[in-house]
Structure 1
Amino acid sequence: MRLDHYMAACLLDPQAGYYATRDPFGQAGDFITAPEISQLFGEMLGLCLAQVWMDQGAPACFTLAEAGPGRGTLMADILRVLARVPGMLEAADIHLVEASPTLREVQAKTLEHHQVTWCERVEDLPETAPLFFVANEFIDALPIRQFTRTETGWAETQVGAEDDTLRAGLSPATRLALLEPRFALTRPGDIVEICPQAVPVVEAVAARVRHGGMAIFVDYGGWRSLGDTFQALEKHEPVDPFACPGQADLTAHVDFEPLAQAAVAAGLAVSEMTAQGVLLERLGITQRAQALAGKLSDAALEDHIAAHRRLTHPSEMGQLFKALAFVPQGAPMPPGFAPAG
């Protein structure tokens, strides 16, 4: 089967899929995300959302949505910030895009003091109200197709069985229209990955942001996919992605170029792709970290300093993770972001 079909089965099968059967987040899980590292991450994004809401005239009713909300930690931190902005929390209609029943239960406990609506797809979000949308480490979990450039075309990565063991192999090479623009820009042996579901997600979000609001995508990746980034994590360590289907998290680096192109095609203003560390510094994370540090001591202070470094330092998450934002044409760019050149 194609690699994207394999990923979808491993991650989303209703009975045996990775996300359907467990809470994978945190130190006791398989990976840890920025909101679980420190409240600072969510607070900075909350400040960004609040400024855009005010810049756009403080709409009296808007959809506040997060895709792939994990345990609900990021949304909880965002809501704590929005509660300090007069009228904003009252205007927010909170939606979480989450397909996993297991994670919905966790999110409901985290956000028990808020009224929340769940939906399975971004396309199910309200269509007419302004949309303020956040997706942190969401696109990286969407299934990818992977192709290896040959002298004559593209050979697609496929998954098959050999001696009762799953292995990756390559299909016969062929020319593909969707990769024709990349053929002259690559060499034999180069690997290109595409995420078929990513552009439709952006298109659905963009259709709603046209009514007002903003969208922020944060994920690890870069601009114009090149190389094999498909990986599996279990207990915070890399593992063979074909050894135990459904037992490990499967992800790939996000290619931000087609996301930006889809938003531009939808008529929105798009930011430059911005390193997470740069974005958080522009939003004031160091000043907030220093204010919180004054109330801490000993191990708690050491953990706080380490969390700030992990989120922002170029050798940790600061450079590996990138952010992209878009807003309606004519609206001010969100704080922390520069317009795309």
Structure 2
Amino acid sequence: MSEDALPERLARAIALAGPIPVSQYMAAANGHYYATRDPLGTDGDFVTAPEISQMFGELVGLWGADLWDRADRPAVAWVELGPGRGTLAVDATRAMARAGLTPDVHLVETSPVLRAMQAERLPNATWHDAVETLPTDRPLIVVANEFFDALPIRQLVKGPDAWRERLVACQDILFLPIAGKPVPDAVIPEPLRASPAGSVLEVSPAGVAIIRTLAARIAKQGGALLVVDYGHEGPVLGETLQAVKRHGFANPYENPGEHDLTAHVDFTTLAAAAQASGAVAWGPVEQAEWLVTLGIDSRAAALARATPDQAERIAADRMRLVGEMGRLFKVLAVTATNWPVPAAFDRG
């Protein structure tokens, strides 16, 4: 069957084996979505911070270079998870080079479409299908910008009698969420177990597994991880699964594989998982605070002086990064125990 027939494939699988967890549905939909298109930009479905302004990637790069410098300049590998078009990596490596840091670049990317775009801009990079194959012989400086929000989530729904996992059923090619079998109470954080009927709890085992793997590697090898995403400090109740198409919202259960499915990131759980793996977690802090502390205002002023005809656009881009987006998005850092305190996280 052709690659563009994901709804039919999912419908057949559900007909044969029964309803599937939301996590399985989300994994299949996003796997197809990212493998078959460039979703970014005004002509795509959404725009990320690196695509808004070079200032974002530059400050990420300088953040890493500062940490590397204060860690006595070891040989490091620069890693990005889900690097999109490669825009952040290009801007970050340019800024790092000015600070004397020219690391090998490693990109964790499974989409052949996006890999081809990244290769045009970063021809010397090394690509990986998963974090497990990243270098083991040096510290890692890892960046994950809008990566964790696209990982599969489980949805647990409180019924009249018990918490149940939400499943996805199908009639013809019409997909719809339904309640599945009860889940053990141990799956639900104790403060939330007595929540009223209809409450929804979202968890991301995939996200926890990845951050635990990376944190264990960082604890052993040295280095840092920077996570930038939209989310909350949890656990909290509420349904955040959404579909984005053409810069607007869509029904997550229509046309799987043809729009981006995301959910808010639970930064508290990610931080706890990192610390349980032997690393130190910092934050989260709001993206706006993080960018301002790192000097986005000075960088915007310098760019405006260098290109006065672009001053209005630069100011608008800065405001977009530190305005509503800057409040919704949060930044979490993870470091090895013997590495310095990362910039803009002095409060821990």
- The answer to whether TM tops 0.5 is yes
Are residues 164 and 81 of structure 1, via their aligned partners in 2, closer, same or farther at CA, if it must alter by over 3 Å? Answer: closer
- 1:89-128 matches, within 5 Å, as 89=102, 92-112=103-123, 115-128=124-137
Q: Secondary structure at the match of 2:43?
A: coil
Q: Which runs of 5+ in 2 are unaligned?
A: 1-19
Q: Secondary structure at the match of 1:271?
A: strand
Contact 1:150 1:188 in 2 (8 A): yes
> TM-score normalised to the size of structure 2?
0.90
Q: Secondary structure at the match of 1:58?
A: coil
Contact 2:303 2:311 in 1 (8 A): no
Amino acid at match of 1:8: A
Are residues 306 and 41 of structure 1, via their aligned partners in 2, closer, same or farther at CA, if it must alter by over 3 Å? Answer: same
Q: How many residues align?
A: 327
Matched with 2:36 is: 21
Q: Deviations over 1:76-121 (max 9, x none)?
A: 01100111123x20xx121000011110000011223xx2100011
Structure 1 counterpart of 2:331, from 323, 331, 338: 323
Amino acid at match of 1:303: R
Q: Work out the CA distance in 2 between the residues paired with 1:174 and 1:82.
A: 48
Matched with 1:336 is: 344
How far apart are 1:183 and its partner, in Å?
3.4
Identity of aligned residues (%): 43
Q: Work out the CA distance in 2 between the residues paired with 1:269 and 1:234.
A: 37
Matched with 2:22 is: 3
- 1:132-281 matches, within 5 Å, as 132-162=141-171, 164-184=173-193, 186-210=195-219, 211-224=221-234, 225-281=236-292
Q: Comparing 301-310 with 136-145, which one deviates more in the overlay?
A: 301-310
Matched with 2:316 is: 306
Are residues 152 and 175 of structure 1, via their aligned partners in 2, closer, same or farther at CA, if it must alter by over 3 Å? Answer: farther
Structure 1 counterpart of 2:94, from 80, 85, 88: 80
Are residues 154 and 295 of structure 1, via their aligned partners in 2, closer, same or farther at CA, if it must alter by over 3 Å? Answer: same
Q: Work out the CA distance in 1 between the residues paired with 2:290 and 2:189.
A: 34
Matched with 1:63 is: 77
Q: Comparing 156-165 with 61-70, which one deviates more in the overlay?
A: 156-165
How far apart are 1:21 and its partner, in Å?
0.5
Q: Which runs of 5+ in 1 are unaligned?
A: none
How far apart are 1:25 and its partner, in Å?
0.6
Are residues 182 and 106 of structure 1, via their aligned partners in 2, closer, same or farther at CA, if it must alter by over 3 Å? Answer: farther
> TM-score normalised to the size of structure 1?
0.92
Which one has a larger percent helix, Structure 1 or Structure 2?
Answer: 2
Contact 2:216 2:274 in 1 (8 A): no
Matched with 1:283 is: 294
Q: Comparing 216-225 with 325-334, which one deviates more in the overlay?
A: 325-334
Amino acid at match of 1:221: G
Amino acid at match of 2:119: A
Q: Work out the CA distance in 1 between the residues paired with 2:185 and 2:22.
A: 17
Q: CA RMSD in A?
A: 1.5
Q: Deviations over 1:296-321 (max 9, x none)?
A: 345x32221111001001xx211100
How far apart are 1:153 and its partner, in Å?
2.2
How far apart are 1:266 and its partner, in Å?
1.6
Q: Work out the CA distance in 2 between the residues paired with 1:74 and 1:107.
A: 11
